[in-house]
Chain A
Amino acid sequence: MKDFKGRTLSWQIVSGTIELALHREACNEIGSLTLAELEKFAAALPELATEARALILYSTQKAGFSAGADLRELFQRGQKLEKSVALRGVRDFLERIHAVMNAIDAAPLTTIAAVHGVTFGGGFELALVCDIIVADRTARFCFPELRLGLIPGFGGIPRLKRDLGNAVVRDLLLTGRSFNVMKAQQIGLVSQIAAEGEALRIARATASQVGKFDRTTAVAAKEFVKPIPYEELKREIDIFCDLYSRPAVEEGLRKFVENEGPQPYLP
C-alpha cells in the first residue's frame, strides 16, 4: 500500500521519502484505532522501504505531535471488563504497539520525527523510535506516567536509556516533569531545532540529504549505532502489566478522566 488515508493517520511517498502524518483530534491520542492504522503502516513498511530512503513522522494537529496513549480508552476498558480480561487486553495492546515501534525502529531507512507542541508519553515514545528528532521551538516533552501509578509502556524507558545518560533518564522519569526544546537539545535528545512551524520543512531537507548516500552503508551505519534493546522492551511490558493491576492505577486514571480542571496535563 503506497499511500493510505485513515481516520487517525495517513501516509504517502513524496520525493523518495515516506511521510506519515498523524491527524487524530485533539492531539493524536494513541488508542485502538490509531494502533490498528499504525499496524497497517508497519505491514506496508517493507514494500514502502523499497521505494524510499527516509521516513518522516509528523502531526497536523495544532496542539502538538501527540499527547500519548488514549487514557480515556484505557480507563473505560478497565471499567467494562473483568480485571483479568482487561489486563490481557492491555498486554495485547502493548505487545502490538511494541511490534509497530520495533518495526519503525529497525526500518532500513533513516527515520525522522518532526515534532512540535505536546510530545508526551506515548507520543514521546513514538518520536524516540526515530533516528533523528527535529523539534520546533514549541515542542515540549514529558513522561507523565508515574502520576498515574504507571511507567511508560510503549518502549520509552529502554529507548530513552539507549539515547541519554541514566541520571537524566531518572530525573525525567521520576519527576514526570515536562521540558522544552532547549533542554531537549542540551541533553542530547533533539538534534536539530527549528523555528515555530518549520520542523517538517527541516525534516524534509534532512531526508533529502540522507537520500544522497549509499543505502547499504546507511543501513549498516544505523544498525551499528542504534541497537534495539529487545530484552528491556519485553521487561517493560511485564512491569507495566504488574503495575496496571493495582487499584491505585484505576484511581489515577479515573482522576485524570474525570478531571475537568485546566491542568490535567500538569504533573
Chain B
Amino acid sequence: MTYLTMAFLILFAVLAILLPSTLMSVLSLAAVSALLSIVFFQLGAPVAGVFELSVGAGLITVLAVLTISFIQARKVKKQIRTELWIVASFAAAALFFFIFNTLSPWVSPSSVPPVNWGAVGEVLWHLRAFDLLPQALVILSAVLGILVLLRPEKGKTP
C-alpha cells in the first residue's frame, strides 16, 4: 500500500520537474506534498502528516501561486541547458541512488508503531525544548529577510 503511494509520489515529482509551465509545476508539487502526508499517516506518524499537509500542500502552494501571479512568469523559457549537462546530471543522480542504495541494508520495520497524539507534544515541549530557540530565530530572520527583500525601489510605489 505504501509502495503505491510512493510510486505516485515519484511520478508527480518527475512531472513537477519536467512540466514547462511554472504554475503546473507548483501544483504538481502540492500533489507531492499531499501524497507524502498520506505516507506519513500510513507509517504511523500522524502529527507529521498533518503538518506536512497543511504546510506543504497548503502554505507553500499558496505562497508560490501568489508570487507567480504577481510576477506573471507563467512560462518557462524554452532554451534548455545543453543535453550533455542533462545527461550528466541524470547520470550523477542515478549513480547517487545506486551507490547509497547498495550501501544501505535492507531493513523493514517489524510493525507500524501505535499512534499517540499527545506524546509528540510532550517530546516537543519538554525533551527538545531547546530546539524551539533556533526555530524562533529562523522564523525571525525569515520575516526580516522578506521585509527587506520586498522593499519598494526608491521612488516607486509598492
Answer yes or no: are A and B bound together in one complex.
no
Chain B interface residues (CB < 8 Å from chain A): none
Chain A interface residues (CB < 8 Å from chain B): none
